[in-house]
């Protein structure tokens, strides 16, 4: 056991076994001259864990002090979201010209939604491959200028042991011209927690992962030491991500899912310990994990993008055997570190190309569970854009898991309140205003009202079941009326495989904008 006090005393030397880096050791502010306007930069980290801290903060301070806001702008690549104190401060300072492939920052989002920062979502499994293949930086012939990587140890060959996330760090190190290492000595070394696989070009080899705990790679990222331009000591620990408690809606959703699993086991379509679980982030996802913890299921496994706090007690109780992910996201890091030797044998952190690999997800039969912005009656889902235009967070790995999972489940409340109406927003609509997951991808949709098992159903059957099982009672009649109108308008003309009336299809969303509710006076 490593106490909070003892953790802060590890010396830089005790964590760096590669002598030649001694000459590269410097302070965060010494790195400032490395940064040039227009650079393409990759950061380690994922949902913000394992991201560089002291160097980005030093650069922010430099920009603020010298009134360089908007004058040093970068193309930023980070596996997923990063932190408020490092990344979002860059956004506030106008330092982010472009950002891929996921974000979750207040200022960054504001810039993206007002057209000041260019952003694009990409399936998280594909992003690092496409970057390594040169698709994101065609204008410079591929590669990036700089990678900034948080490490917890440097091995004798100069290779890097990361912190609590892998993300796209391997690809960034591989294709960057220069690398800055932030060696964090305030947290334990994560040596042994990672399974690092090098980037490849087609044809690749099979990822020989046949169980959540299979290991196919190395413990550290091999780098060309000549590319390392600075090694900076860091003691920075950012606060963990707070966990919202489960409300009645989330608990009801979790209940429906556990019941569904029990029936699937009974029918022989799932084994008694289920298949490996993937669960998104947020309070519904947490409630589902809590629900499983309280369920009769045991010997569970997880193959996911982010290992969540709610999984720690399940490791303790033995309910959860093993977890694979690309990141650990906790609200209180001491919960992990105080029993680090115990937990270290319970999980493996993989590059996001592998944690989210379609190949592995399908082979292992992962059960995918994610929360959308809205779903439609035919089984499409919007995960990214409110009203089809305003970015919320991003796609993340939802598409990787939902497309390839054995079972693909989306869960959301049936309705949300507005200022004017306690059920002003129906989360189930005739047509989503943006589609990230199609009717060909989703198996099951759940709200607190109930669970719609859409497998094997035709579009009209799906719509009837969605209305019956998932729509809030306040909207059931309105939705039934729409479906009947759409059937009448299309099927007699031989054009109604999936009945819709284009002129009315977004009427509920339009009404919300004008009148603060999706309740219509009439269709």
In 3-state terms, what secondary structure has residue 293? helix
- Provide, rounded to whole angstroms, the least separation between the CB of residue 280 and a second copy: 16
Q: Is 27 in the site for a second copy (CB under 8 A)?
A: no
* Largest interatomic CA distance in the chain: 79
Nearest to 142 by CA among 42, 226, 231, 36: 42
Place of tokens 């939604």: 113
Of the two residues 8 and 491, which places its CB atom closer to a second copy in the complex?
491
**Which of these, 314, 411, 326, 327, lies nearest to 368 by C-alpha position?**
411
Of the two residues 206 and 245, which places its CB atom closer to a second copy in the complex? 206
Calculated CA dihedral for residues 109, 114, 115, 119, nearest 10 degrees:
20
φ, ψ at 509 (rounded to 5°): -70, -35
- Determine if 313 is a binding residue for a second copy (CB under 8 A): no
CB of 53 to a second copy, least distance (A): 27
Rounded Cα distance, 282 and 241, in Å: 10
Binding part of the chain for a second copy, among 27-35, 55-63, 186-194, 359-367 by CB under 8 A, reads 359-367
Direct distance between the N- and C-terminal alpha carbons of the chain, in angstroms, rounded to an integer: 64
Segment contacting a second copy (CB under 8 A): 150-158, 307-315, 400-408, 476-484? Answer: 400-408
Q: Does residue 272 touch a second copy according to CB under 8 A?
A: no
Structure tokens at 256: 């429906």
119 binds a second copy (CB under 8 A): yes
Contact status: 118 vs a second copy (CB under 8 A): yes
The answer to whether 87 is a known catalytic residue is no
CA 389 to chain centre: 20
Interaction of residue 203 with a second copy, rule CB under 8 A: yes
Strand partners, 351: 167
- Contact of 221 with 160, CB cutoff 8 Å: yes
Least distance between a second copy and beta carbon 422 (Å): 24
Near a second copy in 86-115, by CB under 8 A: 98, 100, 110, 112-115
- 177 touches a second copy by CB under 8 A: no
Residues linked to residue 11 through DSSP beta bridges, in sequence order: none
Please tell me whether residue 466 binds a second copy under the rule CB under 8 A: no
Q: Does 159 bind a second copy (CB under 8 A)?
A: no
Residue 121 to residue 143: CA distance in whole angstroms: 19
Closest contact distance (angstroms) between CB of 74 and a second copy is: 15
Nearer to a second copy, 85 or 504 (CB): 504
User: Looking at beta carbons only, is 244 or 497 nearer to a second copy?
Assistant: 497
By CB under 8 A, is residue 458 in contact with a second copy? yes
Number of residues binding to a second copy, judged by CB under 8 A? 91
User: Which is it for the CA torsion 85, 87, 91, 95, positive or negative?
Assistant: positive
Residue 496 binds a second copy, judged by CB under 8 A: yes
Q: Which stretch binds a second copy (CB under 8 A): 15-23, 268-276, 290-298, 315-323?
A: 268-276
Contact status: 335 vs a second copy (CB under 8 A): no
Rounded to the nearest 10 degrees, the angle between the axes of helix 459-469 and helix 473-490 is 160
User: Which of 455, 473, 481, 484 touches a second copy (CB under 8 A)?
Assistant: 455
What is the Cα 116 distance to its own chain's centre? 23
Task: Choose the catalytic residue: 305, 309, 374, 448.
Answer: 305
Does 468 engage in binding with a second copy (CB under 8 A)?
no
Contact status: 456 vs a second copy (CB under 8 A):
yes
Contact 182, 53 (CB under 8 A): yes
Alpha-carbon dihedral sign for residues 387, 391, 394, 400: positive
Q: Which of 25, 68, 258, 386 binds a second copy (CB under 8 A)?
A: 386
CB atoms within 10 A of CB 523: 14
Scanning 47-55, 165-173, 239-247, 431-439 for contacts with a second copy by CB under 8 A, the matching segment is 431-439
Q: Would you name the residues annotated as active-site residues?
A: 305
């Amino acid at each position: 056991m490593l106490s909070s006090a003892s953790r802060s005393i590890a010396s830089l030397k005790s964590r760096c076994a590669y002598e030649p880096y001694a000459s590269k050791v410097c302070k965060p502010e010494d790195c400032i001259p490395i940064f040039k306007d227009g650079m393409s930069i990759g950061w380690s980290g994922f949902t913000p864990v394992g991201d560089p801290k002291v160097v980005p903060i030093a650069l922010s301070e430099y920009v603020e002090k010298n009134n360089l806001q908007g004058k040093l702008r970068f193309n930023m690549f980070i596996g997923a979201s990063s932190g408020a104190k490092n990344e979002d401060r860059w956004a506030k300072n106008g330092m982010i010209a472009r950002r891929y492939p996921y974000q979750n920052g207040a200022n960054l989002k504001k810039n993206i939604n007002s057209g000041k920062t260019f952003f694009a979502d990409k399936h998280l499994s594909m992003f690092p491959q496409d970057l390594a293949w040169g698709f994101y930086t065609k204008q410079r012939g591929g590669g990036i200028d700089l990678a900034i990587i948080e490490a917890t140890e440097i091995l004798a060959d100069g290779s890097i042991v990361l912190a609590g996330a892998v993300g796209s760090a391997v690809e960034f190190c591989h294709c960057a011209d220069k690398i800055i290492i932030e060696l964090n000595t305030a947290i334990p070394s994560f040596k042994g927690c990672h399974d690092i696989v090098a980037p490849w070009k087609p044809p690749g080899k099979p990822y020989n992962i046949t169980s959540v705990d299979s290991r196919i790679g190395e413990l550290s990222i091999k780098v060309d030491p000549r590319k390392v331009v600075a090694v900076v000591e860091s003691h920075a620990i950012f606060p963990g991500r707070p966990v919202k408690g489960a409300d009645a809606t989330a608990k009801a959703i979790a209940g429906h899912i556990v019941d569904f699993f029990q029936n699937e086991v009974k029918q022989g379509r799932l084994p008694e310990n289920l298949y490996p679980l993937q669960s998104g982030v947020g309070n519904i996802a947490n409630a589902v994990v809590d629900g499983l913890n309280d369920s009769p299921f045991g010997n569970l496994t997880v193959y996911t993008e982010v290992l969540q706090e709610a999984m720690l007690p399940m490791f303790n109780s033995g309910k959860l055997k093993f977890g694979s992910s690309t990141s650990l996201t906790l609200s209180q890091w001491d919960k992990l570190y105080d029993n680090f030797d115990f937990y270290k044998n319970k999980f493996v952190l993989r590059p996001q190309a592998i944690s989210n690999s379609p190949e592995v997800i399908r082979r292992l039969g992962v059960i995918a569970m994610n929360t959308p912005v809205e779903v439609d009656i035919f089984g499409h889902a919007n995960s990214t854009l409110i009203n089809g235009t305003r970015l919320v967070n991003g796609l993340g790995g939802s598409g990787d898991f939902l497309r390839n999972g054995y079972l693909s489940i989306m869960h959301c409340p049936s309705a949300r309140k507005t200022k004017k109406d306690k059920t002003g927003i129906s989360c189930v609509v005739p047509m989503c205003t943006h589609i990230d997951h199609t009717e060909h991808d989703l198996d099951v949709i759940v709200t607190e009202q109930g669970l719609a098992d859409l497998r094997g159903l035709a579009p009209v059957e799906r719509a009837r079941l969605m209305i019956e099982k998932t729509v809030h009672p306040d909207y059931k009649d309105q939705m039934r009326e729409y479906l009947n109108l759409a059937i009448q308008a299309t099927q007699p003309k031989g054009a109604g495989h999936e009945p819709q009336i284009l002129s009315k299809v977004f009427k509920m969303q339009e009404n919300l904008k004008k009148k603060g509710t999706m309740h219509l006076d009439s269709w």
